[in-house]
């Protein structure tokens, strides 16, 4: 696994954890921001042929 893939996976994991936390405390703005980040990371991975679990 390359560094690019590892970085995408790590950032995606961090964003998902942050999203869960934001939702649990009711921070809608942060939840929206992290949702957008997750979508961007998935798009970036897809554009570069990185397969990510759904």
The residue ranges of every structural domain in the chain are 3-47
Q: What is the pTM for the complete model shown?
A: 0.89
CA 1 → CA 4, 26, 49, 50, distances in Å?
A: 8, 36, 12, 10
For the stretch 1-53, pLDDT in tens is: 699 999 999 999 999 999 999 999 999 999 999 999 999 999 999 999 999 87
């Amino acid at each position: 696994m390359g560094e690019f893939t590892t970085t995408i996976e790590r950032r995606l994991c961090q964003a998902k954890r942050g999203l869960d936390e934001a939702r649990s405390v009711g921070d809608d703005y942060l939840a929206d921001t992290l949702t957008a980040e997750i979508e961007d990371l998935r798009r970036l991975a897809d554009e570069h042929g990185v397969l990510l679990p759904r």
